[in-house]
Structure 1
Amino acid sequence: MSAVQSDIEIARAATKKPIIEIGAKLGIPAEELAPYGHDKAKVSADFIASLADRPNGKLILVTAISPTPAGEGKTTTTVGLGDGLNRIGKKAIVCVREPSLGPCFGVKGGAAGGGYAQVIPMEDINLHFTGDFHAITSAHNLLAAMIDNHIYWGNEQNIDTRRITWRRVMDMNDRALRQVVTSLGGPSNGFPRESGFDITVASEVMAILCLAEDLADLERRLGEIVIGYRVDRSPVFARDLKAHQAMTVLLKNAMQPNLVQTLENNPAFVHGGPFANIAHGCNSVIATKTALKLGDYVVTEAGFGADLGAEKFFDIKCRKAGLMPDAAVIVATVRALKMNGGIKKEDLSAENVQALVRGAANLGRHIANVRKFGVPVVVAINHFTSDTGAEIEALKDYAARHGADAIVCRHWADGSAGAAELAEKVVELAESGQAKFQPLYPDNLPLMDKIEIVASKIYHAAEVTADKGVRDQLKAWEEQGYGNLPVCMAKTQYSFSTDPNLRGAPEGHVVHVREVRLSAGAGFVVAITGEIMTMPGLPRSPSAERIRLNETGEVEGLF
Structure 2
Amino acid sequence: MLSDIEISRQSPRLHIDELTRRLAIPSHLLNPHGHYKGKLSLALLKEPPKKHGKLVLVSAITPTPLGEGKTVTTLGLSMGLNHIGQASIATIRQPSLGPVFGVKGGAAGGGHAQVVPMEEMNLHLTGDFHALAAAHNLAAAALDARLFHEQRLGAGFTASTGLTRLDIDAANILWPRTLDMNDRALRHLTIGQGGPADGVERQDRFVITAASELMAILALASDLKDLRARIGRIQLALDLHGNPVTAEQLEVAGAMTVLLKDALQPTLMQTTEQTPVLVHTGPFANIAHGNSSVIADRMALALTDYVVTEAGFGSDMGLEKFFNIKHRQSGITPSCVVLVATVRGLKANSGLLDIRPGQPLPASLGEEDLPTLHQGCANLAWHIQNARRYGVPVVVAINRFPSDSQAELTLLADEAMRAGACGTAISSAFTQGGAGASELARAVVEACERPSAIKLLYPDAMGLGAKLATLVECGYGGRGVILSDKAKRQLAALSKAGWDHLPVCVAKTPLSLSHDPALKGVPTDFEVPIEEVRLCAGAGFVYALAGPIMTMPGLGSLPAYRHIDINDDGEIVGLS
Q: How does 1:87-486 map to 2 (within 5 A)?
A: 87-154=83-150, 156-341=165-350, 342-343=352-353, 344=355, 345-347=361-363, 348-404=365-421, 405-432=423-450, 434-486=451-503
Gaps in structure 1 of 5+ consecutive residues: none
Secondary structure, counterpart of 1:93 in structure 2: strand
Amino acid at match of 1:105: F
Task: Kindly state the Cα deviation for residue 312 of structure 1 after the two structures are TM-superposed.
Answer: 0.4
Amino acid at match of 1:495: S
- Conserved in 2, the CA contact under 8 Å of 1:491 and 1:530? yes
Amino acid at match of 2:19: I
- Deviations 1:6-64 (CA, angstroms, capped at 9, x unpaired): 1111011111110111111111012210000010000112222224x666310100001
TM-score, normalising length: structure 2 = 0.95
- Conserved in 1, the CA contact under 8 Å of 2:129 and 2:209? yes
Query: What corresponds to 2:156 in structure 1?
Result: none
Pick which of 147-156 and 442-451 moved more: 147-156
Amino acid at match of 1:13: Q
Query: What corresponds to 2:537 in structure 1?
Result: 520
Amino acid at match of 2:87: K
Mapped to 2, the partners of 1:468 and 1:250 lie a distance apart of: 39
Identical counterparts, % of pairs: 51
- Deviations 1:327-367 (CA, angstroms, capped at 9, x unpaired): 00000000111111223434210111110011111111110
- Conserved in 2, the CA contact under 8 Å of 1:325 and 1:435? no
Mapped to 2, the partners of 1:287 and 1:181 lie a distance apart of: 39
- Deviations 1:512-534 (CA, angstroms, capped at 9, x unpaired): 00011111000001110122100
- Conserved in 1, the CA contact under 8 Å of 2:173 and 2:237? yes
Mapped to 2, the partners of 1:402 and 1:54 lie a distance apart of: 38
Residues paired across the two proteins, number: 554
Task: Kindly state the Cα deviation for residue 554 of structure 1 after the two structures are TM-superposed.
Answer: 1.1
- Conserved in 1, the CA contact under 8 Å of 2:51 and 2:305? no
Task: Kindly state the Cα deviation for residue 400 of structure 1 after the two structures are TM-superposed.
Answer: 1.4
Mapped to 2, the partners of 1:317 and 1:98 lie a distance apart of: 17
Secondary structure, counterpart of 2:346 in structure 1: helix
- Conserved in 1, the CA contact under 8 Å of 2:105 and 2:561? no
- Conserved in 2, the CA contact under 8 Å of 1:519 and 1:526? yes
Asked if 1:56 is matched to 2:61, the reply is no
Amino acid at match of 2:38: A
Displaced runs of 4 or more, over 3 A: none
Secondary structure, counterpart of 1:78 in structure 2: helix
Q: 1:21 aligns with which of 18, 23, 33?
A: 18
Mapped to 2, the partners of 1:416 and 1:532 lie a distance apart of: 37
Q: 2:67 aligns with which of 68, 71, 81?
A: 71
Amino acid at match of 2:330: A
Mapped to 2, the partners of 1:47 and 1:467 lie a distance apart of: 47
Amino acid at match of 2:444: V
Task: Kindly state the Cα deviation for residue 71 of structure 1 after the two structures are TM-superposed.
Answer: 1.3
Mapped to 1, the partners of 2:240 and 2:262 lie a distance apart of: 37
Amino acid at match of 2:414: D
Task: Kindly state the Cα deviation for residue 115 of structure 1 after the two structures are TM-superposed.
Answer: 0.7
Query: What corresponds to 1:501 in structure 2?
Result: 518
- Deviations 1:453-473 (CA, angstroms, capped at 9, x unpaired): 111112111221012321221
Secondary structure, counterpart of 1:453 in structure 2: helix
Query: What corresponds to 1:490 in structure 2?
Result: 507
Q: 1:47 aligns with which of 33, 41, 44?
A: 44
Secondary structure, counterpart of 1:163 in structure 2: strand
Pick which of 166-175 and 358-367 moved more: 358-367
Pick which of 413-422 and 339-348 moved more: 339-348
Pick which of 306-315 and 477-486 moved more: 477-486
Amino acid at match of 1:5: L
Secondary structure, counterpart of 1:162 in structure 2: strand
- Conserved in 2, the CA contact under 8 Å of 1:67 and 1:304? yes
Gaps in structure 2 of 5+ consecutive residues: 152-164, 356-360
Secondary structure, counterpart of 1:505 in structure 2: coil
Mapped to 1, the partners of 2:295 and 2:409 lie a distance apart of: 38
Pick which of 336-345 and 269-278 moved more: 336-345
Asked if 1:36 is matched to 2:33, the reply is yes
Amino acid at match of 2:439: E
Secondary structure, counterpart of 2:425 in structure 1: strand
Query: What corresponds to 2:161 in structure 1?
Result: none
Mapped to 1, the partners of 2:183 and 2:397 lie a distance apart of: 35
- Deviations 1:378-421 (CA, angstroms, capped at 9, x unpaired): 10000000000111111011111112122111111111111011
Mapped to 2, the partners of 1:47 and 1:126 lie a distance apart of: 26
- Deviations 1:64-119 (CA, angstroms, capped at 9, x unpaired): 11111121000000000000111111111000000000000111332220110111
Task: Kindly state the Cα deviation for residue 252 of structure 1 after the two structures are TM-superposed.
Answer: 0.5
Mapped to 1, the partners of 2:117 and 2:325 lie a distance apart of: 30
Mapped to 1, the partners of 2:568 and 2:147 lie a distance apart of: 51
Task: Kindly state the Cα deviation for residue 238 of structure 1 after the two structures are TM-superposed.
Answer: 0.6
Mapped to 1, the partners of 2:410 and 2:491 lie a distance apart of: 48
Mapped to 2, the partners of 1:446 and 1:401 lie a distance apart of: 36
Amino acid at match of 2:118: M
